[in-house]
């Protein structure tokens, strides 16, 4: 069985990724992740409904508006918006969906996101239901490295 860390490693090495939840109005998790992932080898697109540009780069209002297909999507958005994004991912035949959650990756089956995750998996998508890419990038900051360590020893990364 493939572990969540194997899926995370695969995600971080995808050729093309979209980061959803970009905002020019305020600092967001998605903004930080977009900046960090742009330092890697992947092509990374920012997606924000009302953010046409972020730090001089074009942002797109939806997955459908991207200039090229993506294999992975990272989303840091309100829980009530995740189901719609998941449907966009299914339509776009995205291979990986990473849903931000600082509580780790072991979401209870009673989580409001459980049906969304199951729908994506039934469509053949690999879902990373939590954690943060900032914990896994090569130059992760001390805070994210500590969170990763804590989650790994407490079973939060599974």
Q: Tell me, what CATH number does 18's domain have?
A: 3.40.50.720
pTM here is 0.91
Find the mean pLDDT for residues 23-44.
90
Per the rule left: phi > 0, alpha: psi between -120 and 50, beta: everything else, 132 is beta
CA 89 to chain centroid, in Å, comes to 12
Confidence band, pLDDT 50/70/90 cuts, at residue 5: confident
Lookup: tokens for 126: 């690999």
* Domain interval for residue 78: 4-154
Average pLDDT over the chain reads 89
pLDDT of residue 107: 58
Q: How many CA atoms lie within 13 A of 139 on its CB side?
A: 7
Question: pLDDT tens digits for 59-80?
Answer: 999 999 999 999 999 998 887 8
Number of domains in the chain: 1
C-alpha separations of 53 from 21, 25, 49, 118 in Å = 13, 11, 11, 33
């Amino acid at each position: 069985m493939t572990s969540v860390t194997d899926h995370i490693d695969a995600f971080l090495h995808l050729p093309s990724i979209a980061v959803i939840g970009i905002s020019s109005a305020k600092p967001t998790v998605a903004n930080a992740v977009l900046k960090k992932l742009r330092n890697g080898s992947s092509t990374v697109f920012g997606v924000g409904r009302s953010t046409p540009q972020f730090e001089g780069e074009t942002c797109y209002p939806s997955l459908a508006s991207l200039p090229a297909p993506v294999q992975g999507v990272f989303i840091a958005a309100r829980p009530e918006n995740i189901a719609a994004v998941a449907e966009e991912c299914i339509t776009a035949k995205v291979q990986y969906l990473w849903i931000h959650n600082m509580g780790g990756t072991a979401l209870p089956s009673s989580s409001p996101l459980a049906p969304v995750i199951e729908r994506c998996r039934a469509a053949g998508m690999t879902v990373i239901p939590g954690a943060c890419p900032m914990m896994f990038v090569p130059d992760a900051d001390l805070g994210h490295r500590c969170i990763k360590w804590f989650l790994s020893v407490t079973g939060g990364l599974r």
